[in-house]
Chain A
Amino acid sequence: MTDFTQSYDAPRRNYSQLALRWLLFALLGLFALFYLMPLFVMVTTSLKSLEEIRTGSLVALPREVTFDAWRTAWSETCTGVKCEGLKPYFWNSVLMTVPAVIIATLLGAVNGYVIAQWRFKGANLIFSLMLFGCFIPFQVVLLPMARSLGILGLAGSIPGLILVHVIYGIGFTTLFFRNYYVTIPSELTKAAKVDGAGFFRIFWSIFLPLSLPIVVVTVIWQFTNIWNDFLFGVSFSQSGTQPVTVALNNIVNSTTGVKEYNVDMAAAIIAALPTLLVYVVAGKYFIRGLTAGSVKG
């Protein structure tokens, strides 16, 4: 990469290098188009009427823009027997995702802080086990988890889903925070100890204020995973507590008669909007946070 920059900055650029650069841009542009195509189709389809979908081309722009499909998807379309649209399920997802993200992030931060800065006997073993937890496939724990939720009296409830996602998230959040805190010199903790601060005081006053980049990374990661989760949502919920991903599936699969592609597309976009929004708002911190450990502060 360094070589490339140097040759580009050299005073006498030759044409083959210039051509190479344009080729690179063209290729990247092509990939971007390839990635954006499905989104384009989704957005345009959701803005068309059923009539137009049936007669027009898939990639054509809508002749007449209508938001009817969006309104239907949000509050009228049927999931199974009920016809309330995505709205109640969307709020289920919010009620599930927000607490789960906050709790998992906080627990991960404390865990990472302990493992990185308060080295105790067996800390590395515990960390390895937590790391191992990141790689256990979801399917493996479905039955034991269902049983556990039943015993705890949380089966089919939103708190139950929160618990499942927190447990699954702790491995990752701990990993993120541990790797971030390990780069902070241990002398900082020592200085604070000599200053008289205790465990939580040091965490609260010194480590948390330093953590914005990694908090953003963790929140984006957790939010995306939990919001988009389908398997836990479909396994551990019942009719009133289903998250939006499950509802979306039901909408798409339970239509009778004519398939309302515009409603399906609108519903899919609505279900995907929050994660998109989180990334757009906090995305630049995401990249920064991921690379934060590699540059000494």
Chain B
Amino acid sequence: MAPILDIKQLYKNYGSVEILKDINVAIEPGDFLVLVGPSGCGKSTLLNCIAGLEPITGGTLSIGGKDMTHVSPKDRDIAMVFQSYALYPTMSVAKNITFGMKVRGVDAATQEQKLNEVASQLQIEQLLNRRPGQLSGGQRQRVAMGRALVRDPKLFLFDEPLSNLDAKLRVEMRSEIKKLHQNLGATMVYVTHDQIEAMTLATKIVVLKGGVVQQIGTPAEIYNRPANLFVADFMGSPAMNLIPAKATKNGTGTQIEIAREGAAPLMLTDTHAENLPQDVILGLRPEDIAEAGFRAGEDVQVAECHIDMVEPAGADTFVVSELGGKQVTARLHAETGAQPGQPLPLAFDLSKVSYFAPGSGERLN
């Protein structure tokens, strides 16, 4: 299938400042692409470039197989939902939703029919005569979505649409957007700084930092095999443990040595890792460090660790132990007997381990 959105070697400068550098992304129809990164990484600028609201400095961009690099927003067959919703304040909800059709000269009967379709889909029929100022945040959000849905475009663009909502509503709207995507089979591009939103919604994630793509992949790829230290640290909550270690080759595999203050170093043996340099940063997610006896597998290795802190979080209990000079978090089951100040045997699942080069931060395995 031809990609519905194809971005090739896109550059964007503001004056002499490079905002986006060499962006290459392609998505298929039905994909849910999430652009994620810390604030100032250029993700919203990239979305505006896709929408045609910002001219691009270099490269090409095509939507639905047609070159759209220099086409104005109205001719790109896109719809966009903004962070502030951007509802027209002096128009009623109904007029907000039909404004685009009115501008395009769609006849009144079709407008009416589409409006009713979308209104019932989003359950906003009772709000149609109100002004945006009379709506709550969640209702405004729905109207903004309605304005996009009524267009039936090739591409939906969302610019941090949930960041102005409170936590509970955000989770609700998140699953509604997900349902909408599944029901419509529409192609969506979604910008967020919230990595949980990215993980739950995306079929494909682009992680950006400083205008440079760090990694493109499915949520599972990004989560399990982060391409570098930045992605490893940014995606996942609590963050991946990144522990400085020394690697030495021996008969059965690679010996990993993690220094510990006031105790013998922690020794692990990885039978799969090959060609590691001497200094590495070992990355292991909290859930891949369990209490001994609760995790089995040939790559699971048990070592006694000194527990510094115990944080019960309801479903899980997090324990913190200092390894290699870092606070390492392990996710244990809720009924653990871990006590702060006491040693506890922990199981390290090395089948999930990532290695990074300390200097460049690139993934090594």
Contact = CB atoms under 8 A, between A and B. Distances in A.
B158 to A, nearest CB: 12
A191 B86 contact: yes
A206 B95 CA distance: 11
Given A193-B53, A197-B99, A206 B90 contact: yes
B83 interface: yes
A188 interface: yes
B289 interface: no
Contact of A209 (B79, B90, B100, B103): B90
B74 interface: yes
A193 B75 CA distance: 10
Interface in B58-94: 72-74, 78-80, 82-84, 86-91
Interface in A184-230: 185, 187-188, 190-197, 201, 205-206, 209-210
B103 A196 contact: yes
B84 A185 contact: yes
B168 interface: no
B99 A185 contact: no
A137 interface: no
Given A187-B82, A190-B82, A195 B100 contact: yes
A284 B175 CA distance: 47
Interface in B85-131: 86-91, 99-100, 103-104
Given A185-B86, A210-B90, A297-B89, A190 B99 contact: no
B356 to A, nearest CB: 39
Nearest to B144: A191
Contacts of B72: 193
B77 to A, nearest CB: 10
A112 B91 CA distance: 22
B78 A194 contact: yes
Contacts of A192: 88, 99
B89 A210 contact: yes
Interface in A224-280: none
Nearest to B80: A194
Nearest to B79: A194
A107 to B, nearest CB: 22
B64 to A, nearest CB: 16
Nearest to A206: B88
Contacts of A297: 89
B80 A190 contact: yes
Interface residues of A, number: 17
B142 interface: no
Contacts of B53: 190, 193-194
Contacts of B88: 188, 191-192, 205-206
B83 A187 contact: yes
A194 B51 CA distance: 8
B103 A197 contact: yes
A249 B99 CA distance: 54
Given A206-B90, A209-B90, A191 B103 contact: no
B147 interface: yes
Contacts of B90: 206, 209-210
Contacts of A201: 103
Contacts of A187: 82-84, 86
Contacts of B80: 190-191, 194
Most buried by B among A185, A190, A193, A297: A190
Nearest to B75: A196
A188 B87 CA distance: 7
Contact of B73 (A185, A194, A205, A206): A194
B271 to A, nearest CB: 54
A201 B53 CA distance: 17
Interface in B143-176: 147
A190 B89 contact: no
A3 B73 CA distance: 52
Given A196-B100, A206-B88, A191 B82 contact: yes
A195 B72 CA distance: 11
Interface in A14-46: none
B74 A194 contact: yes
A136 B99 CA distance: 43
A5 to B, nearest CB: 28
Nearest to A188: B86
A180 to B, nearest CB: 13
A206 B103 CA distance: 12
Contacts of A191: 80, 82, 86-88, 147
Most buried by A among B48, B78, B84, B90: B90
A28 to B, nearest CB: 36
A120 to B, nearest CB: 12
B343 to A, nearest CB: 56
Contacts of B83: 187
A206 B88 CA distance: 6
B73 A193 contact: yes
A205 B48 CA distance: 23
8 contacts: A187-B84, A190-B82, A191-B80, A191-B82, A193-B53, A195-B74, A196-B100, A197-B74
Interface of B: 48, 51, 53, 72-74, 78-80, 82-84, 86-91, 99-100, 103-104, 147
Given A187-B84, A196-B100, 13 more contacts: A185-B86, A187-B83, A187-B86, A190-B48, A190-B53, A190-B86, A191-B88, A193-B73, A194-B100, A195-B74, A205-B88, A209-B91, A210-B89
Q: Which 5 A-B pairs have the closest CB atoms?
A: A195-B100, A196-B74, A191-B86, A209-B90, A187-B86
